[in-house]
Amino acid sequence: MEAVWFAIVAGMLAVYTVLDGFDFGVGILHRLVARTDVERRTVLAAIGPVWDGNEVWLVAAGGVLFMAFPRVYAAAFSGFYLALMIVLWLLILRGVAIESRSRQENLLWRDFWDTVFSLASLFLALVLGVALANVVRGVPLDAGGSFFIPLFTDFQPGVQPGVIDWYTALVGVFTVCALGGHGALYLVWKTTGPVQIRSRLWAGRAWLAVLPLWVAASLATAWLRPDILSNLYARPWLLGFAVLMAGGAGGVLRFSRRGRDLAAFLSSAAFLVGLLAATLAGVFPVWLRSTLDPAHSLTATNSAAHSHSLQVALVWWTVGIAMAGGYFTYLFRSTRGKVDVLADASH
């Protein structure tokens, strides 16, 4: 049962990365692909019906983590307190920027909030990438199940690392480029005209950066955590995630050249899902690895809630996730098609 809930939490985090990931990517590129007020309204209209709903998956994943693995939740939310506060404030700034920019006709006002939206999106992608790298690398977890980690130390992974070192910075930059490319492909699919042309250009640029950064981050992970590759080789069926990841990257390049915009965006989503699934499958059953002593690590076994609670929760989670899935299917179907701000304004 612990393995089932490990997979559930990992799956919800993957869904969040795909859905809110294109929101972040759109925000990162907002001022680059849109130059006039109409173009910027077009970009915001592309994510307008879905951006706040996409963020719910982060809250839901946190709630499920608290229910299924309370010790992991307690350790992570206390040890990463500063990082989580940064994420919270950046999410707030994104929402305020989207809702506030059209409150006044003043161009300076709108430029200010457009800049806030872009910067908040960029730093959110960076922080989330750094956070994932911290989970993979490990934290100085003690025997009591708690840890304190400074923002940075000597920029080197080790027994007492900082939140930011060369490895976490590398993964953070990779995440910014990957989500930027993901968001660009979403805009290519959802927009027309100059915004689509520029989005296609930036999608190509982003993916030219993603591919070498992906290789570099993978090699760095294999060097820092060779057990991840060992775990994947020991469970051959998990290599399907690596195939999904590679196939997604190949699909982006192939479908983008052929002008199949939706297929290219879905390939980007497959790349992100495969990447996260392969990473979390490689670290399973460890949630938080201790750099002080592997015996202090929090795993799916030693941090799980009572078995009966997990069984009962699985029933209610199934009902809830079916309802959420139905809602998101309806939402994306009802907003399908290209965005046309001028046509919408004329009605």
The pLDDT of residue 345 is 46
pTM of this structure: 0.93
* Residue 164 vs residues 89, 132, 158: alpha-carbon distances, Å: 19, 11, 12
249-260 burial, b at 16+ Cβ within 10 Å, e below that, comes to bebbeebbeeee
Each domain of the chain, given as residue ranges in start order, spans 2-346
Distance, CA of 103 to CA of 151 (rounded, Å) = 37
Which residues, other chains included, contact 252 with Cβ-Cβ below 8 Å and sequence gap of 6+? 181, 185, 207, 264, 267, 268, 271
- Quick: pLDDT tens for 9-50: 999 999 999 999 999 999 999 999 999 999 999 999 999 888
- Residues 239-251 have a mean pLDDT of 92
Side-chain-side CA neighbours of 121 within 13 Å: the count stands at 29
Distance, CA of 198 to CA of 81 (rounded, Å) = 38
- Residues 50-75 have a mean pLDDT of 89
- Quick: pLDDT tens for 87-105: 899 999 999 999 999 888 8
Q: Evaluate whether 278 touches 243 at the Cβ level (below 8 Å).
A: no
Other Cβ atoms less than 10 A from the Cβ of 317: the count is: 18
Average pLDDT, rounded, for the chain: 90
Percentage of the chain with pLDDT > 70?
98
- Quick: pLDDT tens for 202-234: 999 999 999 999 999 999 999 999 988 888 888
Q: Is 299 in a helix, a strand, or coil?
A: strand
> Within its chain, how far is the Cα of 327 from the centroid?
21
Q: pLDDT grade, residue 341 (50/70/90)?
A: low
At residue 328, φ and ψ (nearest 5 deg) are -70, -35
One-letter identity of residue 258: R
193-209 burial, b at 16+ Cβ within 10 Å, e below that, comes to eebbebbbebbeebbeb
DSSP readout, 209-256?
Answer: HHHHHHHHHHHHHHHH-HHHHHHHHHSGGGHHHHHHHHHHHHHHHHHH
- Residues 325-347 have a mean pLDDT of 73
At residue 333, φ and ψ (nearest 5 deg) are -70, -40
Q: Are strands 286-288 and 298-299 parallel, antiparallel or unpaired?
A: antiparallel
Sign of the torsion angle spanned by Cα atoms 271, 134, 9, 335 = negative
Q: Evaluate whether 53 touches 334 at the Cβ level (below 8 Å).
A: no
